[in-house]
Structure 1
Amino acid sequence: MHKTIESIRRIDLRLFLALLLTGLLPTIYTTVRIFFLGNLPNDWGINIASQLMWVNLLYEILQESLILPLYFILGKAISNTEEFTNRLKGSMVIVFSIYLTLSALISIFAEPMVVAMAQNSALVDATVSYIRLETIAYIFLTMWKFLMLILLLIGRDKLIYIMLTVQMILTVLLDTLFISEFSFSLQLGVNGIAITNIIVNIVLLAVFFILLKKEKNINIFQRKKLNFAWVKQWTTIAGYSGLETLVRNLAFMYMVVRMVNIINEPGTFWVTNSFIWGWLLLPVLQLSELIKSDCSKDEENIKLNFRGYVGVTTIIIAIWLVTIPLWEPFIKNVLNMSNYEVISHLVMISLPFYILFAYNNIIDSIFYGIGKTEYMLFQSVFVNVTFYGTLFILFQKGIYVPTLELITLMFAAGIAVDSLLTFVMYWYLSKKGKIVHKYELTVPLVTD
């Protein structure tokens, strides 16, 4: 126990708190939006907004392909301001160009894609309009996520708090103006969400550029010839990462998103996922960002902080268990869901699988931080081909008949299988010295 406590103390808990609050804001305003949409006279708002799940997956594929490997690429140049600025500007140009292209393609092909995902035919036109607006917002949202990575690497929690404050104030004000039921609201419905996202993310980018110039003397717009020699290494790491997330998310799109549309339950599944990934997993995912940053800057942090990462994760899970009695009232009264009992049931049957995921998250983050994305590709291909492939065959033969409960269990079980494979792989690679060659790694227990 003493070693675990000492390891926790080595973690930058101040920065973790800043990350936690930064992640909390999107969760809060997603919750507010669910409440507003739940107050609309029918469930169309939630069903339309829920279709963004598959759009999110397309952008997630690019994010995990391009942005997450940058922890390693930029982390290695953090001590050299000139090279760090060069890589920052070069990667920003590449990322922006690729996301702009993806957004244009989604806008052009939005209608056939919505139809292919089995959306209610009466909602197709409204869904297409909403998605096209969101693709504009995503361009700027992605750049904001990219720049948050920079704030994390340079360890400036003060700047994170400034950005957080700006984001919170703007989002609440604009959501109230565009989608609330107040008399002064424009009541734009789900399209108001997209417009809010566009405005907020543009303002955040402008504020960030000003702060970066003031605090770090890094001028993004300074004209200077860029050196792209580092791109080859980025391409290799991004290639493995991209293939991994492509396989995983294509399986999710077809086996989960499409099936909840087929059984006409996209809204319920979306709210369930919003609660799990937005509230329960929030500290787990923010810890992941810190782990990636730590490991990208110094691989010795794996050895020094591993017990601490496990300890913090265990504390998070303990908080989950203690707060279980509050979940159903929260879903009923805060999320404003009339079918709160169904959603609560889906959350509870998923919980054991997400406990495994929380620990798996530590190892996945280490792999990203040290640029070992090929390991993640292997496990993703294995799990999605064997697990989801088997279920797809059973579905085609009529043996597997999807229900909301079975789809939820299928998704959660897939995460658990992936987690177990990750644990075995990490243990084996650590034993063989193939994760960090300089250090003899062990997988410590929480207690000593």
Structure 2
Amino acid sequence: MKNQWEIITQAYPWHFIGFLVLAMFIPKLYELTNVYWIGQISFDALAITEQYEFIAVTIEIVNEAIPFGILALIAQNYHDRERVISILKAGLILHVTFALIVTSIVLLFTSEFVSTIGTPVEIVRMTTQYLVLKSVALPFEAVAYLLLIAIKSMQKGREALYLVLVSVILNMILDLFLISNTSLSLHLGIQGVAIGYVISKIALMVISLLYTLHLLHLDWATLASTTWKENVVPLFKIGGWTGLDSLVRNVGYMGLLLVLNVIGTNEFGGYGLAMWVMWTLLIPVLALGEGTSVVVGNYFGEKKYREAKNVVITSMVLVIAIMTAIALIGVLYWENISAFFNPNPEMVKYSTETFWWLIIPYIGFGIGTVLRSVFYGTGQTRYIFYIACFVNIGMILPYVALVKWGLIPATFTSVMMFYMISFLADPVLAYIGVRRVITRVFPANEGGSTQTDVSS
């Protein structure tokens, strides 16, 4: 058994995955200090900055389209420098175009947007100013995000970590000088938060661009002369499905949030608190999913199908171990953790109740995250969209409609029960999709053995 495990894990990129975990975890730690400084500005400061989350949903949809096409295509061709440059150029042109469209819409219609999302009257003016200023960063953030995805797709985890670390350090310095309550601060308040965000995203874009040019031994003349149009269709074939998946998922998620918001403030806040804690603990799982997607793409491009299978199996074992540890931590300490971040006993109660309802489904989510790496790595992303449609359009949105029509009572228990059912359906559908992908795109002599091993 030990020898079999050693054979399976031999092709596993332990260092690469470790760097990706750190590259996700360090920014999350920074968020804690950033939220602390924002909270010191005024009682309304956090409420104002949270309004940006409505724009962030749109940006998430954009960032889950072309960048995932970049991930799959570069991962599969990362030994072919000329092809990588061509793919990257096409991705940058498309992604920046979409980001500029979103930025223009936000800047032109900020006032209308603020009134649409129901921003409280007393913070409308400051919210409008904050959103306009922070939205300036969107094109720079888009370029930086895509370049980081490309760098990771070439298995440069250490370098991606260094770039993120520089950005976080710069963010902390900017917070200290722009918004903190120390003697060093300029005390720029909410505007300082936005200014710091813009500066940090520009800096991250610049250093990511410089490193990419160095990594690919690329000069501006070569970049300008490289053809790119032949990669537009392949990028959309992959990224189009992931973008639609993100759109459908976020519509379903917003629907559930609307139901929770109707139920009550404590219920909504307790659920939000539970999700914040859970998604912080899930960082290793998310990093494993991203890293596995890259490595599956690398091996798939090299036609090393057995190695791709073994990477998925290893990641699956690791994710199950991590999710089991999260479950044990939650059973023992969830109420205490929730109380540490929020003193409201009612919110703590609903946060704890959320954990008990959703911990088993989230174990399924972890498994589904690894299974999805097969879709991303092979470029067969339409299955991700199919799953999103089944869960969100087929289950969640009808439930939200029935609640809105008064046919189903809007209670916290009913929402959690339905959320649990829909979450459990996700990994089952992902497993079915993975078996289908393996049968269709892996050679028969490898696909059969891979299919058997993945299902075991």
Shorter-chain TM-score bucket reads 0.7 to 0.9
Task: Point out 4+ residue stretches in structure 1 off by more than 6 angstroms.
Answer: none
Cα shift at 1:137: 2.3
The answer to whether the 8 Å contact 1:346/1:405 transfers is no
Q: Provide the residue aligned with 2:348 in structure 1.
A: 341
Cα shift at 1:409: 5.7
The answer to whether the 8 Å contact 1:141/1:201 transfers is yes
Cα deviation digits, residues 279-301 of structure 1 (max 9, x gap): 11101111111111112222214
Q: 1:177 to 1:406 in 2, by over 3 A?
A: farther
Q: Provide the residue aligned with 1:289 in structure 2.
A: 290
SS at match of 1:223: helix
Structure number with the higher helix fraction is 2
Q: Provide the residue aligned with 1:239 in structure 2.
A: 240
* TM-score, scaled relative to structure 2: 0.86
SS at match of 2:428: helix
SS at match of 1:118: coil
Q: Provide the residue aligned with 1:46 in structure 2.
A: 46
The answer to whether the 8 Å contact 1:57/1:253 transfers is no
The answer to whether the 8 Å contact 1:23/1:282 transfers is yes
Cα shift at 1:201: 1.6
Q: Provide the residue aligned with 1:351 in structure 2.
A: 359
- Distance in 2 of aligned mates of 1:190 and 1:348: 37
Cα deviation digits, residues 233-274 of structure 1 (max 9, x gap): 222222222222222212222332585388456665544433
Query: More relative contact order in 1 or in 2 (CA 8 Å, sep 6+)?
Result: 1
- Distance in 1 of aligned mates of 2:182 and 2:408: 46
- Distance in 2 of aligned mates of 1:328 and 1:145: 35
Cα shift at 1:139: 2.3
Q: Provide the residue aligned with 2:313 in structure 1.
A: 307
Q: Provide the residue aligned with 1:380 in structure 2.
A: 388
Cα shift at 1:373: 1.4
Which segment drifts farther, 181-190 or 257-266?
Answer: 257-266
Task: Give yes or no for the alignment of 1:422 onto 2:430.
Answer: yes
Aligned letter for 1:273? M
Q: Provide the residue aligned with 1:228 in structure 2.
A: 229
Cα shift at 1:224: 1.6
Q: Provide the residue aligned with 1:274 in structure 2.
A: 276
Which segment drifts farther, 28-37 or 306-315?
Answer: 28-37
- Distance in 2 of aligned mates of 1:213 and 1:385: 43
Q: 1:9 to 1:53 in 2, by over 3 A?
A: farther
Q: 1:372 to 1:407 in 2, by over 3 A?
A: same
Cα shift at 1:169: 1.3
SS at match of 1:113: helix
Task: Give yes or no for the alignment of 1:397 onto 2:405.
Answer: yes
Q: Provide the residue aligned with 1:55 in structure 2.
A: 55
The answer to whether the 8 Å contact 1:8/1:311 transfers is no
Cα deviation digits, residues 52-101 of structure 1 (max 9, x gap): 33322211111222111212222233222122112212211221121011
Which segment drifts farther, 137-146 or 288-297?
Answer: 137-146
For the aligned residues, what is the CA RMSD? 2.9
SS at match of 1:68: helix
- Distance in 1 of aligned mates of 2:359 and 2:183: 40
The answer to whether the 8 Å contact 2:296/2:308 transfers is yes
- Distance in 1 of aligned mates of 2:407 and 2:374: 39
Percent of pairs identical after alignment? 19
Q: 1:14 to 1:39 in 2, by over 3 A?
A: same
- Distance in 2 of aligned mates of 1:88 and 1:332: 46
Q: Provide the residue aligned with 1:199 in structure 2.
A: 199
- Distance in 2 of aligned mates of 1:160 and 1:270: 30
Aligned letter for 1:14? H
Which segment drifts farther, 88-97 or 223-232?
Answer: 223-232
Question: Number of residue pairs matched?
Answer: 442
SS at match of 2:23: helix
Which segment drifts farther, 173-182 or 354-363?
Answer: 173-182
Q: 1:395 to 1:142 in 2, by over 3 A?
A: same
Q: Provide the residue aligned with 1:113 in structure 2.
A: 113
- Distance in 1 of aligned mates of 2:86 and 2:30: 35
Which segment drifts farther, 98-107 or 49-58?
Answer: 49-58
The equivalent position to 1:368 in structure 2, one of 376, 383, 389, is 376
Q: 1:220 to 1:205 in 2, by over 3 A?
A: farther
* TM-score, scaled relative to structure 1: 0.88
Q: Give ranges in structure 2 of 5+ residues lacking alignment.
A: none
| Aligned ranges 1:77-116 → 2 under 5 Å | 77-116=77-116
- Distance in 1 of aligned mates of 2:195 and 2:352: 31
